[in-house]
Structure 1
Amino acid sequence: MPSSPKIPKEMILNAALTMLIRDGYSALNIKALAEELHCSTQPISRHFGNMEGFRKELADFALSYAFEKLTPSAPDGREAFKEMGRAYIEIAFDEPNLFKFLFMGDHSGYQMGGLEALTMDPDNRAIIDKLADNFNIDKECAGLYLQNLIVYTHGLASFIASGVLKADKKEIIDMMYNAGTAFLVQAGVKL
């Protein structure tokens, strides 16, 4: 009977996430991770099999970590929506390597598809329903509002995470809120 691993899978994933955030995905490999953990590569291989298995589990782990930050706490739909956008921008500012890994490349495996995926995703459908009710607009307009805001916010966050845009965090969040207001007017909301 094989001995139980002395280094738990969760410890390996936490170390890998730390390295990913600190150094970026390109610096992460099994040997570098073993050095970070002060162990051989054997426990990593035992838990994940190969780099592909490791990458998939790391992507799921990193996505869960990011989604915890993106989950709003406000009970009000509008405030919760603002919290999500602010958290998305903050990840781009504070953890740009994580943002790039999850939302700007194909390393994570997180792919939504075309623009229609933004309005067809079950979680986003629920948001669209709430937006339509909160703002007294039809669901198609609420979907267009959500789509525009996601694309705009992602563009800002991508500029920040990639270092293309150097700006103050508050300034970027204000830009997102101002664009959100403009998108509401475009969707037919009387402000």
Structure 2
Amino acid sequence: MARKTQISKEVILEAALKMLIRDGYSAINIKTLSKEIGCSTQPLVWHFGNMEGLRKALAEYALNYANEKMRSSVNGIEAFANVGMSYIEIAFEQPRLFSYLYMSGDSGFSAGNLDVFTTADENSLMIEQIASQLKIPTEKVSVFYRDMMIYTHGLASFIASGIVTSSKEEVAAMVKQTASAFLSQANKDEQGRNI
């Protein structure tokens, strides 16, 4: 009878995420991770096969972790603001995780073209809610949402890489001001059409 594995996949992924946040992706390999956990390399190899298997599982685990931090229980505009600020917060508080998921390509995720911002299920629902709240066509809100995501990602990338050292409050004010400007323009364009 085969011996039962003592170290679960969840324990390994949690330790890998902890290392990723603390030390960055380049510090993680089968040997360093087994040392972090305090076990031999055997459980890691048994669960993931090799570093490539671990990398794929870690990428998904880390993305789920980040997405969970960005989930919002509110709808529409407030949900969008919460998601944007949560995104910025990850860049401030966990820059190595942010870089791994959204900047370096190490995670292996590819977003594709810019439509991905507006077509993802949760995002399209948020876009519909904002359009309904503001009585603006969904297409206008999609452009607003895409542009705000690009702007927010740029700010977050500067923060995570240490280029921008503004406070969270300053960045929050910048994001709010830009969102107001984008929404005001969308509203103005729509009102101009209805005259």
TM-score range, shorter chain: over 0.9
* Cα deviation digits, residues 58-99 of structure 1 (max 9, x gap): 11111111111000123x422221111111000000000010
The 5-angstrom pairing of residues 24-39 of structure 1 reads 24-39=24-39
* Cα deviation digits, residues 17-65 of structure 1 (max 9, x gap): 0000000001111111011011111111011000010000011111111
Stretches of 4+ aligned residues off by more than 3 angstroms: none
Alpha-carbon distance in 2 for matches of 1:105, 1:123:
24
Amino acid at match of 1:101: Y
Corresponding pairs, count: 189
Alpha-carbon distance in 2 for matches of 1:54, 1:120:
29
Gaps of 5+ in 1: none
Counterpart secondary structure, 2:80? helix
Residue 86 of structure 1 corresponds to 85
Counterpart secondary structure, 1:187? helix
Is residue 91–residue 98 contact of structure 2 (8 Å, CA) maintained in 1? yes
Q: How far has the Cα of 1:109 moved from its partner? A: 2.3
Give the share of equivalent positions with the same residue, in percent.
Answer: 49
Alpha-carbon distance in 2 for matches of 1:182, 1:127:
19
Is residue 79–residue 126 contact of structure 2 (8 Å, CA) maintained in 1? no
Counterpart secondary structure, 1:166? coil
Instruction: Classify 1:86/1:139 alpha carbon distance in 2 versus 1 (closer, same or farther; 3 Å).
Output: same
Residue 15 of structure 2 corresponds to 15
Alpha-carbon distance in 2 for matches of 1:46, 1:112:
30
Amino acid at match of 1:53: G
* Cα deviation digits, residues 96-145 of structure 1 (max 9, x gap): 00101111122212221111222222322212211111111111111110
> If the length of structure 2 is used for normalisation, what is the TM-score?
0.93
Instruction: Report the aligned-residue RMSD.
Output: 1.3
Residue 167 of structure 2 corresponds to 168
